[in-house]
Amino acid sequence: MILLSGFLTLLWVQERDNRALGLWSLGFSAGALGMVLVSVREVAPPIVAFGLGNGLGISCLGLIWLGCLAFEGETRKGAGLVAAAGGVVWLALFAFPSFAADLGARIFAASILFAGYSFLIIPVLFLGQRREPLPARMVAIVAFGTHGVAHLIRIPMQFIEPVQLVAGHAPLWYGAMMFAFFLQGLASALAIFAMVHERATRRYKVASETDALTLLRNRRAFIDAIARARADAGGAAPGAVLALVDADHFKQVNDTYGHAAGDTVLVELGRLLTREVPETAIVGRLGGEEFGVYLPASVVLRQPDLLDDLRIRVSTMLVEHEGQLPAITVSIGAASLPSGPLDFPLALARADKALYASKKAGRNRVTWGGLDLPAESLDPSRMMDVSSDLASAAPRSAA
């Protein structure tokens, strides 16, 4: 316990703004000191060994509960008083000589207080697990749950086979339970270490896959998400669509209204795309003012005009930044994808060429060009044969 509290303290020193780590460090340090005091009961006065020692142990759980609240981002009125109450109650009871001399009464009170705080911790972690599944959090829930149950079991066991420490008699169940408490404390501390590590790892992963401005998937995460979706669908049915959505004349927005206004346009455009496509679709920002949209075949069958609907909705989108900005439009290039393994660079190149054709034809339109595009699935009024134009097309200029 002393080593674990030391490790938590070192971890907190490196992350001083992490309130949960600070509370856990303080809690486990209190628990370690309490264990030391109880271990010297043969030489220390009872008020120190059992009174202060167990009081610190109870306070340890109260501080761990506060740490769990901080870890899960919860704030509760009077939580500090609740956390401190257990240790205060224990010391107040120990001030009565009759209570201090009655081992059965002490076991009963301590078991209730220890179990109470253990059971307070569980719902906090359980709600956090529903919001953010972490394997280590489940270990912590089990550890604190068994800790609380074990303390409650101590109550009837004291009546069935009382502990007679004065006579030097310690029942087998008492020794086994002390060892179980040690293992539960170790498991809970290690679970807390793992929870901190898992959250940090997950956040680093999310940050590496998320566009900082729009909070959409970045280019790499967009490609990976498509690969996973197609793998989960067994290669995906033919007819899925990869579309590139590019804001028209975006440079003029930046030059006229400033880059902050341009950022606002990109954020609102990302929100609209995410809001208007089904959950099974995948949206990402590929760079600059260009977004990617992947539509599974099932979505295309249900909503064959979805891309054109998106184009129209963007043109009516209101964007506020120090006043209302002029309406923007988007050009879209779409490539219908074959079933089976996907050559993503090729698919992206086809969609990019179709996007260029939309720009060249006047912007604010959807152009199709695909690897696997059944003729009957196309709207002739929106279909363009871009092959002749693309062969001599120069690289796209700033849109």
Determine the Cα–Cα distance for residues 78 and 102; give it in Å rounded to an integer: 32
- Rounded Cα distance between 35 and 52, Å, is 10
Per-residue pLDDT for 1 more than 90? no
Whether residue 10 is predicted with pLDDT greater than 90 in this model: the reply is no
Residue 254 falls inside a structural domain: yes
Look over the chain and give the mean of its residue pLDDT values, rounded to a whole number. Answer: 87
The DSSP call for residue 169 is B
C-alpha 80: how far from its chain's center?
A: 26
Q: Of 209, 234, 269, which marks where a domain is finished?
A: 209
Tokens of 224: 């990976």
**pLDDT(133) > 80:** yes
The last residue of one of the domains, among 209, 244, 264, is 209
For residue 153, being part of any structural domain is answered with yes
Total domains in the chain come to 2
**C-alpha to C-alpha distance for 49 and 44, rounded to whole angstroms:** 6
Share of the chain above pLDDT 70, in %: 89
How far is Cα of residue 8 from the mean position of the Cα atoms in its chain? 22
Mean pLDDT to the nearest integer, 13-35: 90
Give the pLDDT score at 169: 61
Predicted local confidence at residue 374, as pLDDT? 39
* pLDDT score for 371: 58
Q: Are 251 and 182 in contact (CB under 8 A)?
A: no
Regarding whether 204 and 232 lie in a shared domain, the answer is: no
**Can you give the residue range of the structural domain that contains 352?**
219-391
Between CA 197 and CA 273 the distance in angstroms is 34
pLDDT tens, position by position, 350-394:
999 999 999 999 999 999 986 544 333 333 333 333 333 333 333
Integer Cα distance of 34 and 68 in angstroms: 21
In a domain, 396, yes or no: no
CA distance 156 to 164: 15
Pair 110, 257 in one domain? no
Same domain, 152 and 239: no
The more confidently predicted of residues 102 and 178 is 102
**Residue 122 and residue 43 share a domain:** yes
Give the model's pLDDT for residue 376: 33
- Does 178 lie in the same domain as 287? no
Taking alpha carbons only, the member of 36, 46, 58, 67 closest to residue 111 is 58
Separation CA 155–CA 166 (nearest Å): 19
Confidence of residue 397 (pLDDT cuts 50, 70, 90): very low
Indicate whether 87 and 126 sit together in one domain.
yes
CATH code where residue 342 lies: 3.30.70.270
At 324, the pLDDT band (50, 70, 90 cuts) reads confident
- 176 with 225, same domain: the answer is no
Q: Are residue 94 and residue 70 in the same domain, yes or no?
A: yes
- What is the pLDDT, as a whole number, of residue 344? 87
Q: What is the mean pLDDT of residues 38-59?
A: 92
245 in the same domain as 152: no
Q: Which of 135-149, 223-237, 272-286 has the least mean pLDDT?
A: 223-237
Whether 224 and 190 map to the same domain: the answer is: no
* Distance of alpha carbon 239 from alpha carbon 296, whole angstroms: 7
The answer to whether residue 342 is domain-embedded is yes
Q: What is the structure's pLDDT at 237? A: 64
Beta 330-336 vs 366-368: how paired, if at all? parallel
What span, in angstroms and rounded, lies between the C-alpha atoms of 57 and 94?
14
Mean pLDDT (whole number) for 48-75? 95
Question: What percentage of the chain reaches a pLDDT higher than 90?
Answer: 63
Question: What is the per-residue burial (b if ≥16 Cβ within 10 Å, else e) of 172-211?
Answer: ebbeebeeebeebbebbbbbbbbbbebbeeeeeeeeebbb
205 and 69 in a common domain: yes
C-beta atoms surrounding 373 within 10 Å: 20
Domain-embedded: residue 383? yes
Q: What is the dihedral of CA 267, 272, 274, 280, to 10 degrees?
A: -160
Q: Are residues 199 and 78 in the same domain?
A: yes
397 domain-assigned = no
* pLDDT tens-place string over residues 83-127: 999 999 999 999 999 999 998 899 999 999 999 999 999 999 999
- Domain final residue, candidates 209, 232, 255: 209
**36 part of a folded domain:** yes
Q: What is the pLDDT of residue 370?
A: 60
386 domain residue, yes or no: yes
- The confidence score (pLDDT) of residue 172 equals 83
The CA-based angle 217-334-326, given to 5 degrees, is 70
